[in-house]
Amino acid sequence: MKQMQELKSKEKVLSALKKWQTYLVLVFIMMIWGFNVPALKTLVTEFTPVTITSLRIFTAGLTVFIILGIMKQVRKPTRRESVFIIGGGLLNVVSHHYFLSVGLTQTTSTNGGLILGTGPLLTALLASILLRNRPTVIKLIGFILGGMGVSIIVLSGGKGIGSLNSGDAMVFISIFSQALSFIIISRAAKTLDPRLLTGYMLVFGSIILFFIGLITEPEGLTQLDHASMGIWVLFLASAMLATAVGHMLYNQSIGRLGAAETSIFLNLNTFFSLVGAAIFLGETITSQHLLGLLFIILGVVCGAGTLEELIIKRKRQRFYAKQQKHHM
């Protein structure tokens, strides 16, 4: 009996460590994605948005397959998995990146950031509807706090939500498509390695985006010759690090934690994008930004289930302490 209890306690400790490792990975991804926002803004300004986005994502897809090829993790998907790849590619790559790249050229960063910040709330809502995953009260409070933090940050230095336009609508379609794709990814991850799923989705989606770019941006390819070496370094960093490695690790985290719990970390993306803007674009971080960060951290702690785990752990410790006193 004692050996069984020791094994169970060891398994719980290992499980908790893996979960915390996943949390740290997610924070790192949010930092990369946050710093990628100024990079994307520069790229879609320098080139035609859809064409450069398709090339960036295709480069990211190739990077994923090279990494997985070295790890010997590449295999052909089954017919059922191919359906998930097509669905995820159309939503997470084609729809998300098309509407995001075009929308960012037509809206303010304030309104765009606010709408993108609704991602965790949309994912949790879709998960509860489609997967029947009802969030607990504490997690629901976390989603609300995270949303409040994002709102404080994005409304602190712009015109607010009073200047909504077609670009805002495009950004909303973008984040809604991504939130819906996370549900598909969480289902596909049961049989297909999320990292491999990411590679297939990126390559498939980028090809579709490229043909869309040929139709909507006939002069897109001719603009590629005018960019400087620094812009192409930025392009490769965005494609290989932020898109390839970032999406591989994020989709792997969805397979471990679930779509709703993983998506709460997207709130950190907004703050890190502000830090990136301050470092690379010379923008200032105000007291409102720091207040927003506080709400975001509280949202992550509650929404990711960390607070619930601490409460359960304390209850167990009190229960075992009472039992020990009773036996004495």
HEC secondary structure over 258-282: CHHHHHCCHHHHHHHHHHHHHHHCC
Instruction: State yes or no: pLDDT of 250 exceeds 80.
Output: yes
Q: Is the pLDDT of residue 158 over 60?
A: no
pLDDT higher than 70, residue 328? no
Would you state the pLDDT for residue 140?
Answer: 82
Contact 146, 264 (CB under 8 A): yes
Residue 205's pLDDT band, with cuts at 50, 70 and 90, is very high
Read off the pLDDT band of 327 (50, 70, 90). Answer: low
Q: Answer left, alpha or beta for residue 258, where phi above 0 means left and psi between -120 and 50 means alpha.
A: left
Nearest by Cα to 275 from 260, 259, 254, 296: 296
Give the per-residue pLDDT at 82. 93
Question: What whole-number distance in Å separates Cα of residue 320 and Cα of residue 314?
Answer: 10
pLDDT higher than 80, residue 78: yes
Q: Hunting for tokens 């302490």 — which residue is that?
A: 321
**Cα distance between residue 57 and residue 236, in whole Å:** 10
Residue 96's pLDDT is 92
* pLDDT at residue 161 greater than cutoff 60: no
Token couple for 230 = 């620094």
**Residue entry with tokens 């006939």:** 218
Q: Model confidence over 211-225: pLDDT tens digits?
A: 999 999 988 888 888
DSSP 8-state code for residue 191: T
Q: For a pLDDT cut of 70, what percent of the chain falls above it?
A: 82
pLDDT of residue 157: 55
Residue 110 token pair: 């304030």
Residue 95 pLDDT level (bands cut at 50, 70, 90): very high
pLDDT at 75 over 80: yes
User: pLDDT at residue 164 above 60?
Assistant: no
Is the pLDDT at 159 greater than 70, yes or no? no
Predicted local confidence at residue 189, as pLDDT: 78
As a whole number, the mean pLDDT across the chain is 81
**Quick one: average pLDDT of 107-127?**
71
Question: What does the pLDDT read at residue 316?
Answer: 75
> What is the band of 167 on the pLDDT scale with cuts at 50, 70, 90?
confident
